[in-house]
Amino acid sequence: MLFPTLSFGLFFLVVFTVVWAANGSNEWRKILLLVASWVFYGAWDWRFVALLIVSAFLNWGSAELIWYNREGPARRRRAIMIAGVTGNLLILGFFKYYGFFVEQLGDVLHAAGYARDLPLMQVVLPVGISFFTFQGMSYLADVHAERLAPAKLLDVTLLMSFFPHLVAGPIVRGSDLLPQFEESPRLTRDMASMGLVLIVWGLFKKAVVASELSTGLVDPVFFDPASHSRLDLIAAAYGYAVQIYCDFSAYSDMAIGIAALLGYKFPLNFNQPYRAQSLQDFWRRWHISLSSWLRDYLYIGALGGSRKGFARQCLNLMLTMLLGGLWHGAKWTFVIWGGLHGGVLAIERIWDRIRPEGWPRLPRVLGILITFHIVLIGWIFFRAESFDAAIAYLKGIGTVGVASDVLTPLACVLILFGMAIHFTPVNLGQRLALQVRLLPAWALGLLVGVTILIVDAMRFEGVAPFIYYQF
C-alpha cells in the first residue's frame, strides 16, 4: 500500500475517522492504531507482521530486563543490552545480508581452492526491516543509558509498527514518540495545516518530479549506459540526484504529515541537503534521522567518536559511513558509496586541522558546488547495479558525443526545479502553513482538492515504489 495511491487514501480516511472517534480512551486509540499498522504492513506480506511482533517482544523484554537490573552490576545490564542488540542484528542480518555473505564466502572459498556448495536460500526481504530494527536497537541503548524509561508492551509495539514511518522512516526514536503515546493527543490547526502542506508537497515531489525523471530519463540511461551519449549520462546523474531527493524526502514529508493528522510529531528528516557547503553539512541535512542515529549510537556510542585521538576519529568516521552504506543494502556499490562519504568526511576533518593560519575559507558557492558534485559521484555508485556498471558509467561521461536520446525539455525543467527548491527560504512550508491555518475549512478543502487534482493530472501512470522501500 503506497502513500500516493487511492488504496492508501481510503485506508487513511477510515483510520483517521476511527482513531479520532476513539480519542476518549488512549489505550483503545493505540490498539486501533496498532491494528491499522498491521493491516498496512500486512498488505505487502502478512507473514512479516509476525516478525514485527517478535521484534517488538524482543525489545520490550530486553528493556524490561535492563531496567529490572538497574540496581545490579553494570556488566549485567550491558550484557542484556548487547544480547538484545544482537537479536535485532541477527534478524536484520538473516533477512538482509544472508545471501550476500554466503555469496562472498563462496567466492573466497573458491579462490582458495575449496569450492563448496553453500546453503543458498532465497530470503524475501521484509519491507522496512532496516528501519524498525534500528528503532529497536536505539530504544535498548536509550533504556540502558537511562535516557528513557522502559515503556509498556503496547507502546513499544506501536513505536515499532506505527504505519506512517514503518516502511521507509524517518527513524523515529523512542525518546521522540513514546512520551507522546502517554496521553491522548490533541489535533491543533497548526498540526493539521502543516501536515496537509507536507502531504500535498510530498505527493507532488514523488508523483510528478521523481516519477517523471525516473521513467523518462534515469532508468533508461542507468539500465544501459553504454548505448547513451555523454550528455545523457551527465543529465541522468543530475536527474538521479533530484529523483532520489524528491522520492525519499517526499516519503518523509508524507509520513510526518500523516502522523501529524493523527496527532503525533515526527522529527525533521531533510533540510535542503544540496545547499550543503561541506559533506559534514550535507549529513546534517540528508536523512537526518539516520545520520543522527549513526552519530549517536555507532560513531560516538559504540566506536568512541573523537575520544580516542584524531587518527581514531578519522577511522571511526570511515567505519561509520561504511556501515551506513551497508545499511542500505547488501551490495558493494553501497559500501563504496559509504566509503566515499567516509573518506571525504575524514579529509575535511584533516584539512580543518592542517589548514594554515590565515588561509581563506572556500567561497560559499564553491563549497556548495564541490560538495554537490562529490555527492553526485556517490549517487552513481548508489544507483548502479554493480561496481563495474558504475565505472563504465563514469568512463562514459569522459567519452565524446553530445547527441541526446532521452533528455527532454521537461526533464531539464524538473531537474532545475529540483535543484531550485534547495535555495528557497528555509521555512517556506511553515510560512505557508501559517497562512493556511487561517482559512475556513471549505476553502482549504477546495484548495487541497484542486492541488491533488493537478498533481493527479501530471503524474506518471501508476506509482513506482519509493526507492527507500528496498532498504
Partner 1 sequence: MPQDTPSPIDLPEPELEQSGLGWTFGVIAIASLFLLCANASSLRDWIDDQPPSQAQQQAAEYADQWVDTTEGFGIGLPHKAMHDQWKRAEEARFPGSHRKDEVGEGADQ
DSSP state of 225: G
Is residue 235 at the binding interface for partner 1, with CB under 8 A as the rule? no
Among residues 80, 260, 276, 290, the one that binds partner 1 under rule CB under 8 A: 260
What part of residues 290-349 is at the interface with partner 1 (CB under 8 A)? 292
Choice between 20 and 387, CB closer to partner 1: 20
Is residue 145 at the binding interface for partner 1, with CB under 8 A as the rule? no
165 is annotated as an active-site residue: no
Choice between 153 and 448, CB closer to partner 1: 448
Torsion-angle region of residue 272: left (phi > 0), alpha (psi -120 to 50) or beta?
A: left
Choice between 181 and 379, CB closer to partner 1: 181
Which of 342, 337, 330, 341 minimizes the C-alpha distance to 471? 330
Which of 327, 357, 388 minimizes the C-alpha distance to 131? 327
User: What's the closest the beta carbon of residue 467 comes to partner 1, in angstroms?
Assistant: 21
> Going residue by residue from 204 to 233, which x/- string records binding to partner 1, judged by CB under 8 A?
--------x---x-----------------
Choice between 161 and 193, CB closer to partner 1: 193
Choice between 360 and 425, CB closer to partner 1: 425
Q: Which residues contact 141 (CB under 8 A, 6 or more apart)?
A: 81, 85, 297, 301
Are the C-beta atoms of residues 168 and 4 closer than 8 Å to each other?
Answer: no
User: What's the closest the beta carbon of residue 202 comes to partner 1, in angstroms?
Assistant: 11
User: What's the closest the beta carbon of residue 173 comes to partner 1, in angstroms?
Assistant: 8
Q: Which stretch binds partner 1 (CB under 8 A): 130-138, 241-249, 370-378, 397-405?
A: 397-405
> Judged by CB under 8 A, how many residues of this single chain contact partner 1?
61
Q: Please, what's the b/e burial string for 223-235 (b: 16 or more CB within 10 A of its CB; e: otherwise)?
A: eebeebbbbbbbb
Is residue 155 at the binding interface for partner 1, with CB under 8 A as the rule? no
- Could you give the CA distance from residue 88 to residue 444 in angstroms, rounded to a whole number? 44
User: What's the closest the beta carbon of residue 253 comes to partner 1, in angstroms?
Assistant: 8
- Could you give the CA distance from residue 316 to residue 305 in angstroms, rounded to a whole number? 6
- Could you give the CA distance from residue 337 to residue 308 in angstroms, rounded to a whole number? 26
In the Cβ-directed half-sphere of 110, how many Cα atoms lie within 13 Å? 8
Are the C-beta atoms of residues 287 and 165 closer than 8 Å to each other?
Answer: no
DSSP state of 434: H
Among residues 39, 125, 376, 434, the one that binds partner 1 under rule CB under 8 A: 434
Is residue 258 at the binding interface for partner 1, with CB under 8 A as the rule? no
47-68 vs 74-92: helix crossing angle, rounded to 10: 170
Is residue 433 at the binding interface for partner 1, with CB under 8 A as the rule? yes
Is residue 106 at the binding interface for partner 1, with CB under 8 A as the rule? no
Is residue 463 at the binding interface for partner 1, with CB under 8 A as the rule? no
User: What's the closest the beta carbon of residue 75 comes to partner 1, in angstroms?
Assistant: 28
Is residue 425 at the binding interface for partner 1, with CB under 8 A as the rule? no
Are the C-beta atoms of residues 171 and 134 closer than 8 Å to each other?
Answer: yes
Are the C-beta atoms of residues 39 and 11 closer than 8 Å to each other?
Answer: yes
Which of 107, 101, 165 minimizes the C-alpha distance to 326? 101
- Could you give the CA distance from residue 314 to residue 344 in angstroms, rounded to a whole number? 10
> Going residue by residue from 4 to 23, which x/- string records binding to partner 1, judged by CB under 8 A?
--xx-----x--x---x---
Cα 430 from chain centroid (whole Å): 22
Choice between 293 and 379, CB closer to partner 1: 293
Is residue 408 at the binding interface for partner 1, with CB under 8 A as the rule? yes
Lookup: cell for 322: 561504511
Vertex 267, ends 28 and 314: CA angle to 5°?
135
Sole residue written with cell 524498525:
132
Is residue 267 at the binding interface for partner 1, with CB under 8 A as the rule? yes
Among residues 179, 304, 363, 401, the one that binds partner 1 under rule CB under 8 A: 179
Catalytic residue (one of 165, 228, 287, 328): 328
- Would you name the residues annotated as active-site residues? 328
Residues lying near partner 1 in the complex (CB under 8 A): 6-7, 13, 16, 20, 173, 175-176, 179-180, 186-196, 198, 212, 216, 256, 260-261, 265-268, 292, 403-410, 427, 429-430, 433-434, 437, 441-442, 444-446, 448-450, 452-454, 456-458, 461
